[in-house]
Amino acid sequence: MGKYILKRIGYMFIVLVVMSVLLFLIYNLVPNNRAYTDAKADMTAQKTRLRNASEEEKDKMFNDLYLEYQRRYGTDTDNMAVRYLRWVGIMPNYYGTYSGLLQGDFGYSYEFKDDVINVVQEPLKNTIFINIFATILALGITIPLGIVCAVHKGSKGDQAMQVITIIGYSLPTFVTAILFVWIFCSLLGIFPPSGMKTPGSNYTGWKWFVDRMYYMALPLITMTFCSLGSMTRYVRASMIDALSLDCIRTARAKGVTEKAVIYSHAWRNALIPIVTLVVGWFLGIFGGSLIFENTFGINGMGKLMIVSLRTQDFDVVILMQLFYVAISLIGNLIIDIVYGLVDPRVRVSA
C-alpha cells in the first residue's frame, strides 16, 4: 500500500509539473508584460520630476527601469526554460533571489491592486461556505432517494424518477438557474435574485448568518437540484448491483428482516463506489461553480475566474487554474486510496 501511494504521488507530481509547464506556455501566449507595465507606471509617477528631461533621457531612464523590472521578475531572458524555472522558484533571478511559486510569490493582480494570494482568499471562503451546504443537502437527498428507487425498482415511482433524473442531469445548469430565478423570484417573490447580503446592512453573528442564508437559499436550491440527477442514478445503480449479490439472497433466506437486509447488508456493499464519488465531490467544494456563481452574483472562485478573464488579469487566472489542477489530482489520489481502504478486494497493484 505504502509503495502504491508513493508511486501515485510520484505520478501526480509529474502530472503537476507537466501541467505547470503547459500553463506557463499558455500564460506566455498572453500579451501581458508585467515589467513593461510597471516601468511605464513608474515613468508616469515621475512625470513632474522629468518635466525638463529630454526625450533621450526619458528613453534611457525608461529602458533602465524596464530592465530592472525585467530582472526582478526574471523575464530578462528569452530562454523559456530559464523563465519557467524562475517562475516556479527553482532558479534565482538576476539579483540572486528566489521569488517563484515555491516561495509563495503567486503574482500580482492589476485589477484588485493586490497580491493574488490575498485576492483569492475571500472568494475561496465564500465558495467553501456555500458548497459545504450544497454538498450536505445533495447527499442527504440523493442517497435515500437512490436507495428507495433501487429497492422498488421497476415500480411506477421508480420509472418516474428515472425520467426525472435523466431530465435533471441533461438540463443545462444555466437553464435550471434561469428557470429557478423565474419561479422563486419573479413568480413567488420569496428569494432575492442575486447578491450576497442585504445591501447596506452590516450584521454580525447570528443575524449575519440568517441574512447570508436568505441570500444563499436560491443558489443552494438550484445547485442541489442540478446535482440530484446524476447522483441519484449512481446510488440507484450501485444499490441494485449490491441487492443482486448472493450474500443478500442468503441473508433473506435465513430470515433477516428486509430493513436489515437493505440498510445493513446491501447498503454497505453499495457504499464502496459511492464513497469514492463523495470524496471527489467534497473536493469540488473548493472549485466553485462558474455558472451558478455568475448567475447569482456570488463572490466566489468561479466568479473571480470569469472576472479575471474578462479583465485579463491573467496572474489570478493562472494561479486558480493551478489550484484546480492540484485539487483534482489530490482528489484522484484520495479516491484511489479510499477505494483500497473501503474495498479489501481491490488490489492496489502498482
Partner 1 sequence: MKKKNFFGRLNGWVRRVFFGGSRDLANSIDVEEVVSPVGQIVRNFLERRLAVGALIVVILMFLLVFFGPLFMPNYYDSYTEVTQKNVAPTMSMMKVPSGLKNDIKMIDSYGSFSVGLSNSGDVYVWGATQLGTTGIDIGEIPDAVKEDTIAYVAAGIDHIIAISESGKVYGWGSNKHGQYITTDKEVLEQLEEAEESVSEEDQAILEEAGASSSVEGEDTEALEETTEETEVAATSASAGENIIAMPDELVNGTIDVANIKKLVCGYQCTAILMNDGKLYIWGNANAYQNISSFVDKDDLTDIDFTLNYVVGLTDAGTSIYTGKRGLYDQYRTNINEAAKSSKKFLGKRKIVSIYATNNHLCGMLSDGSLFFTGNFPNDSVAMPALHDGETVVQLEAGTYHYTALTSEGRVLSWGGSTLHQTDVPNGLDGKVTKVFAGAFQSYAVNDSGKLLDKWGLKGYLFGTDGNGADIFQRIIAGGKMTMTIGAVAVIISTIIGIVVGCLSGYFGGTVDIILMRVAEIFAAIPFLPFALILSAIMAQMDISENKKIFILMCILGVLTWTGLARMVRGQVLVARENEYVTAAKAMGVKEGRIAFRHILPNIVSIIFVTLTLDFATCMLTESSLSYLGFGVTYPRPTWGNMLSGSNNSTIIKNYWWQWVFTSIFLAVTCICINIVGDTLRDVMDPKSDRDK
**Chain contacts with partner 1 (rule: CB under 8 A):** 11, 14-15, 18-19, 26, 29-31, 153-154, 163, 166-167, 169-175, 177-179, 181-182, 185-186, 193-194, 240, 287, 290-291, 294-295, 305-306, 309-310, 312, 317, 320-321, 324-325, 328-329, 332
Q: Between 88 and 256, name the residue whose CB sits nearer to partner 1.
A: 88
Residue 301 per-residue DSSP state: H
Range 301-325 burial, b when 16+ CB lie within 10 A, else e? bbbbbebbeeeebbbbbbbbbbbbb
Find the shortest distance in angstroms from Cβ 59 to partner 1. Answer: 28
Q: Between 91 and 290, name the residue whose CB sits nearer to partner 1.
A: 290
Q: How many residues does the chain have?
A: 350
Q: Between 101 and 326, name the residue whose CB sits nearer to partner 1.
A: 326
Find the shortest distance in angstroms from Cβ 272 to partner 1. Answer: 19
Contact 177, 222 (CB under 8 A): yes
Which conformational region is residue 299 in: left (phi greater than 0), alpha (psi within -120 to 50 degrees), or beta?
beta
Find the shortest distance in angstroms from Cβ 249 to partner 1. Answer: 15
Phi, psi of 30, deg, nearest 5: -75, 130
What is the helix, strand, coil percentage profile of the chain, to 5?
A: 75, 0, 25
Cα 69 from Cα 298, distance rounded (Å)? 36
Q: Between 194 and 269, name the residue whose CB sits nearer to partner 1.
A: 194
Q: Between 1 and 29, name the residue whose CB sits nearer to partner 1.
A: 29
Q: Between 46 and 194, name the residue whose CB sits nearer to partner 1.
A: 194
Cα 306 from Cα 314, distance rounded (Å)? 11
Find the shortest distance in angstroms from Cβ 240 to partner 1. Answer: 7
Find the shortest distance in angstroms from Cβ 296 to partner 1. Answer: 9
What is the C-alpha radius of gyration for the chain, rounded to an integer number of angstroms? 27
CA end-to-end distance (rounded Å), the chain: 9
- Cell numbers 428569494 correspond to 191
Cα 289 from Cα 216, distance rounded (Å)? 14
Q: For helices 116-151 and 156-170, give the axis angle rounded to 10 degrees.
A: 160
- Strand 114-115 relative to strand 108-109: parallel, antiparallel, unpaired? antiparallel
Find the shortest distance in angstroms from Cβ 19 to partner 1. Answer: 7
Q: Between 228 and 291, name the residue whose CB sits nearer to partner 1.
A: 291
Find the shortest distance in angstroms from Cβ 289 to partner 1. Answer: 9
Find the shortest distance in angstroms from Cβ 295 to partner 1. Answer: 5
DSSP per-residue string spanning 86-135: HHHTSS--TTS---SGGGT---EETTTTEEHHHHHHHHHHHHHHHHHHHH
- Cell numbers 499558455 correspond to 26
Q: Between 14 and 90, name the residue whose CB sits nearer to partner 1.
A: 14
Find the shortest distance in angstroms from Cβ 92 to partner 1. Answer: 29
Find, among 96, 112, 57, the residue nearest to 313 by Cα. Answer: 112
Q: Between 11 and 95, name the residue whose CB sits nearer to partner 1.
A: 11
